[in-house]
Chains A and B, each alone.
Chain A
Amino acid sequence: MTGAGRVLSSFAALVYAMILSPIVVVVMLSFSADNFIVFPPSGYSLRWFQQLVGNGPLLAALWLSVQVAAVVTLLSLAVGVPAALALAKGRFAGKAALTSFFLAPLLLPTLITGLALLLFFSPLKLTATLPGLVLGHMTVTVPFVIRMMTTALANLPDDIEAAAATLGATPWRVVRRVTLPLATPGLIACACLSFLLSFDETVISLFIAGPRASTLPVEMVRYVEGRTDPLIAALSVVLIVATLAVVLVVERLVGVARAVGK
């Protein structure tokens, strides 16, 4: 059998059109000259991009999201990579149980995690604060980093690290001189995806973000609920371009399907 066949390919093309249509439509809409969501737009302009640059709350939210995502990424790597190292390289009792413990949060819907965090943070006055948002996002990113880096580290050839040891490198030197350099592409990809996960995190943020500190997705949800104009489309284009850039980096380094799958 060669390839996928004509019927299957055409059908797949249709589904692809459906998958991509919201994104394509958003991009076209961002250049709309209309006051409302009309598709196809009656005219094209850059007015919504100009509006975007002048929209204080959205820009403030964007800035907060970038800050949160940056801090979340750094902390998640700092906490998650050592754990992944121990899980990938160590042999100790209870390893399987610990692995499931670390991965369990990935199975829990963010709706439940968000609610639990709201109940936990409220008495501590951590809702709508930067530390609160960072900790909240880390419930998702830390397990993600641990999962991705455990796989990446476990897939490194064992002999190369053993070789470094026989050449006189202490275990920590082996990690520094061999393990981590070899895992660098995976590490960068992991950082990119953590950033994206935190940046796009909506449900947990909706629970714990307040008017004082609201991230970009939260601000976007509120905007869409209230109004129907193409401003969000313009903002979306910015996000899509940024996302594509990250996806491209990850694809070059490790392959997206492998990174987000299991």
Chain B
Amino acid sequence: MSYLELAGLQKRYGNSVAVDDVSLLVEQGEAVALLGPSGCGKTTTLRMLAGLIEPNHGTMTLDGSEITRLPAHKRNMGYVFQSYALFPHLSVGRNIAFGLEERGVSRAEIDKRVQEGLALVRLSGLEQRRPKELSGGQQQRVALARALVIQPSVLLLDESLSNLDAKLRDAMRHEIRSIQRTLGITTLFVTHDQVEALTMCDRIAVMHRGRIAQIGNAEDIYDRPATRFVAEFVGRANVLPLARDAQGRATVWEQPVPVEPTQNADLFVRPQRMRIVPVSEPAGGDTARLTGRVLRSVFVGDHVEVLVEGAGGQLTVEMPSGSTAPTEGTEVAVVWPRAESRVFAREAT
């Protein structure tokens, strides 16, 4: 039995379904990301877990006991809100102490744990400040400390980094990850940012239209997307329409490709998995190969994007920066390992 189990969770608002059917098993100490676009139901799922919303169907079990109908204040979940939701009328210290006070912890113990909490998020000495006197990053850390000092069964983070600027976000990512690892706290992390999900979590559950589309570790999700949605949402992908030639082989740009011929489907290949080689270089047994003309190369810092045009479409190849990009207009061959090909049916529109 897993530490945290969600089974068949559903939440409807009138006729619209926010969460359709979410089942998820989380082990103790594990960090799991709920990744998806806005409106996919990830925050609703998190709020149901915290007891802030009641599900219409389904059950939630924590450490063997059912918590589905348990009110929020009895769940012992540390929730870090997107808006931080710090109490504006209380000092930083009182904010962090709030949960401990509600638990009737002794004054001395509260003081000790508030100090520990402040030290954990590197804010020692700021306990007398009001939340509005802190920067966004500091407020975020207070919210984190406040959720952690109650020693929650599960830590829930709701888009917690989205209000920070890019640099700070990067730093906080590592900080939260290392705190999570050190404390060994079971964590659920809601985000629409795939980098956040890929870097901060052991496993990722990609959500789409109120359901979990795929769950797995970063490599699973990135290299072996289970659905077309996952392939498109996580990372970038070249989407190449598949056709069939006279011999019944699958083709792209009227050139045969080594995949099963399928009606109404597209071939997905990650731009980083592709290489550009001279047309003269012969194709190996384990590679797929397309020829086309270089339309243009764009230097984007850590890599070079090469746009290649073929009969009936374009694709992008990401080359490591430093490698010489082919001149515009030259005929080139694009190759990639066969195993990197993914075929997904087109969605009926």
Contacts and interface: CB of A to CB of B under 8 A. Distances in A.
Direct contact of A and B (CB under 8 A): yes
Interface string A146-178: 000000000001011011111111110110011
Interface string B70-89: 01111111110111011111
Given A162-B52, A162-B79, A163-B79, A169 B98 contact: yes
A165 B98 contact: no
Contacts of A157: 83, 85
Nearest to B158: A159
Contacts of B79: 162-163, 166
Given A166-B50, A168-B76, A182 B88 contact: yes
Interface string A176-218: 0110011000000000000000000000000000000000000
Contact of B87 (A160, A165, A170, A173): A160
B52 A167 contact: no
A180 to B, nearest CB: 10
* Most chain B C-beta atoms within 10 Å of own C-beta, residue among A165, A173, A181: A165
A168 B99 contact: yes
A168 B81 contact: no
B256 interface: no
A159 B81 contact: yes
Nearest to B78: A166
B146 interface: yes
Nearest to B88: A182
B150 A167 contact: yes
Contacts of B87: 160, 163-164, 178
* Category for how many chain A residues contact B: 10 to 19
Nearest to A174: B73
B72 A165 contact: yes
B348 to A, nearest CB: 38
Contacts of A162: 47, 50, 52, 72, 79, 81, 85
Contacts of A173: 73, 102
Interface string A112-128: 00000000000000000
B156 to A, nearest CB: 8
A169 B72 CA distance: 9
Nearest to A166: B79
A50 B14 CA distance: 69
B51 interface: yes
Given A170-B73, A181-B89, A182-B89, A165 B51 contact: yes
* Most chain B C-beta atoms within 10 Å of own C-beta, residue among A166, A177, A181: A166
B103 interface: yes
A169 B81 contact: no
Contacts of B103: 168
Contact of A160 (B72, B74, B76, B85): B85
A167 B83 contact: no
Given A162-B52, A162-B72, A173-B102, A168 B150 contact: yes
A165 to B, nearest CB: 4
B88 to A, nearest CB: 7
Contacts of A166: 50-52, 72-73, 75, 77-79, 147, 156
Nearest to A177: B98
B85 A159 contact: yes
A165 B52 contact: yes
Contacts of A160: 85-88
Contacts of B147: 166-167
B81 A163 contact: yes
A169 B79 CA distance: 13
Contacts of A182: 88-89
Contacts of A159: 81-83, 85
A167 B88 contact: no
Interface in B97-111: 98-99, 102-103
A167 B149 CA distance: 10
Interface of A: 157, 159-160, 162-171, 173-174, 177-178, 181-182
Given A166-B73, A167-B150, A168-B103, 9 more contacts: A159-B81, A159-B85, A162-B50, A163-B85, A165-B72, A166-B51, A170-B73, A171-B71, A177-B98
The 8 A-B pairs of least Cβ separation, nearest first, read A167-B99, A159-B85, A163-B85, A165-B72, A168-B102, A166-B79, A159-B81, A160-B85
12 contacts: A157-B85, A159-B81, A159-B82, A160-B87, A162-B85, A163-B79, A166-B75, A167-B146, A167-B150, A168-B73, A168-B76, A168-B99
